């Protein structure tokens, strides 16, 4: 039997419905939720054959991990992943990112939120990743973890080889022998690897990078940014450089 998880709150569940990112087995609504948003979600669940039940708030609280569920939960199956080779296939200048070694699901979810908001076309993860903590990651990412196309690479080297063969620049975020992001050309096809705070990016990957990137600081400060903050800075600098051609202000 496939692994099941619980998504909590309208944003996470609506994202899963919209993206069809995973099978949705059941929808649980609080008995006092009869607003238009709840009824639309109930209709969507019934349309795909998912079981719909209503429970007291106390019962929902007991099932949920957080307290921001808003009276709605979904029992879901495993995340559907895209083939690695399909990420960014339909865009002229793909921007693909890989998150590796992030140890906190909230930090991971926040990083995914920034990547999605900045227009990343696909996300690469190792087989063992925080997508297993679906409810926490979905909440922290504001549903972006369900919306963003995700592929799994058993070995990051596999992803590097594939995207290099497709003409993507391989960029690694690191503080050592790295170029400030504002001095780098990030507007072309790009595969950006971002590591966790503790382990960072493996040396073998750094050695294969076409470019090493660092976030410059406004003052002398020896500590690294947390991964979510660094990811946001990196992703939106890529977006800024692409904006004249790929984005509309709004």
- Report pLDDT digits (tens) over 18-45: 999 999 999 999 999 899 999 999 999 9
| Burial grade of 32 (CB within 10 A; 0-12, 13-18, 19 or more) | exposed
Q: Which of 94, 91, 89, 56 is nearest to 73 (CA)?
A: 56
Give me the percent of the chain exceeding a pLDDT of 70. Answer: 93
Average pLDDT on 98-109 reads 89
Tell whether the model's pLDDT for residue 232 goes beyond 90.
Answer: yes
Question: Of all helices (H) and strands (E), which one includes residue 105?
Answer: helix 105-117
How does the average pLDDT of the chain come out, rounded? 90
Domains of the chain: 5-76 (3.30.1330.30), 84-246 (3.40.1280.10)
Beta bridge partners of 122: 96
Q: Which of 81-90, 154-163, 199-208 has the highest average model confidence (pLDDT)?
A: 81-90
Asked if residue 30 lies in contact with residue 100, where contact means CB atoms within 8 angstroms, the answer is no
CA distance 210 to 170: 5
Residues with Cβ within 8 Å of 168's Cβ and at least 6 positions away in sequence, in order, are 94, 96, 189, 190, 191
The residues near 38 (Cβ < 8 Å, ≥ 6 apart) are 29, 71, 72
Quick: pLDDT tens for 114-161: 999 999 999 999 876 666 688 999 999 999 999 999 999 988 898 999
Average pLDDT over residues 75-85: 94
In the structure, what pLDDT confidence band is assigned to residue 1 with cuts at 50, 70 and 90? very low
DSSP 137-191: HHHHTTTHHHHS-EEE-SSHHHHHHHHHHTT-EEEEE-STT-EEGGGS--SSSEE
Average pLDDT over residues 65-87: 91
DSSP string, 33-44: --SHHHHHHHHH
Report yes or no on whether pTM surpasses 0.85: yes
* pLDDT > 70? residue 180: yes
Tokens encoding 15 = 């994202």
Name the pLDDT band for 202 (thresholds 50, 70, 90): confident
Q: Using alpha carbons only, how large is the chain's radius of gyration in Å?
A: 19
Residue 212 clears pLDDT 90, i.e. is over it: yes
């Amino acid at each position: 039997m496939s692994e099941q998880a619980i998504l909590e709150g309208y944003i996470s569940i609506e994202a899963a419905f919209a993206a069809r990112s995973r099978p949705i087995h059941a929808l649980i609504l609080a008995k006092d939720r009869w607003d238009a948003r709840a009824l639309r979600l109930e209709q969507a669940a019934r349309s795909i054959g998912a079981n719909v039940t209503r429970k007291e708030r106390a019962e929902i609280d007991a099932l949920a991990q957080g307290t921001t569920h808003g009276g709605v939960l979904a029992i879901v199956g495993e995340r559907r992943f895209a083939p690695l080779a399909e990420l960014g296939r339909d865009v002229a200048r793909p921007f693909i990112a890989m998150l590796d070694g992030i140890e906190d699901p909230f930090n991971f979810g926040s990083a995914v939120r920034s990547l999605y908001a900045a227009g990343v076309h696909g996300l690469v993860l190792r087989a063992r990743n925080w997508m297993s903590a679906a409810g926490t990651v979905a909440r922290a990412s504001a549903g972006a973890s369900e919306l963003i196309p995700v592929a799994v690479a058993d070995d990051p080297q596999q992803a590097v080889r594939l995207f290099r063969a497709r003409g993507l620049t391989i960029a690694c975020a690191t503080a050592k022998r790295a170029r400030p992001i504002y001095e780098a050309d990030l507007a072309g096809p790009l595969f950006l690897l971002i590591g966790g705070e503790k382990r960072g990016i493996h040396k073998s990957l750094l050695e294969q990078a076409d470019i090493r990137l660092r976030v410059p600081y406004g003052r002398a400060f020896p500590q690294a940014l947390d991964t979510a903050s660094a990811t946001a800075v990196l992703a939106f600098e890529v977006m800024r450089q692409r904006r004249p051609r790929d984005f509309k202000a709004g």
